[in-house]
Amino acid sequence: MNGRPVLLGYQEASSAQPTLLIQPQQIQPEAQVQVLWTSGDVSDETLPSAVFLGELSGESALALPLPSEFSPDRPGQLLFRSLPLAKTLGSVDLAALPSNLFQESR
């Protein structure tokens, strides 16, 4: 995310709810950084339909439930967006992550 790394992971919870795990590696200088998910490509047109997952807070780890449309075969994309700046700070294509980083773990 623009040179400010986050660690990403995925797990299937006992409730069978897929969960995204995010661990920021440093505090984000932008305020109110929202984490959004979209099943398709990132564009200005898809932004309004992106699903809000949560908000980064300092260096706190997050475990965010993924929407029912999520599929490990087509994991979609994450968007990191600053609410006050109304600006997308970066995106991550979950399918492009190494399989050992983004995979089901039990």
Residue 91 burial (CB count, 10 A): 16
Contact (CB, 8 A) for 82 and 35: no
Each residue's pLDDT tens digit, 50-63: 999 999 887 788 88
Say if residue 91's pLDDT is above 60.
yes
Q: Which of 31, 71, 63, 34 is closest to 51 using CA atoms?
A: 34
pTM: 0.77
Would you say residue 104 has pLDDT above 70?
A: no
HSE-CB at 1 with a 13 A cutoff on CA atoms is: 30
Q: Residues with Cβ < 8 Å from 63, sequence gap 6 or more?
A: 19, 20, 21
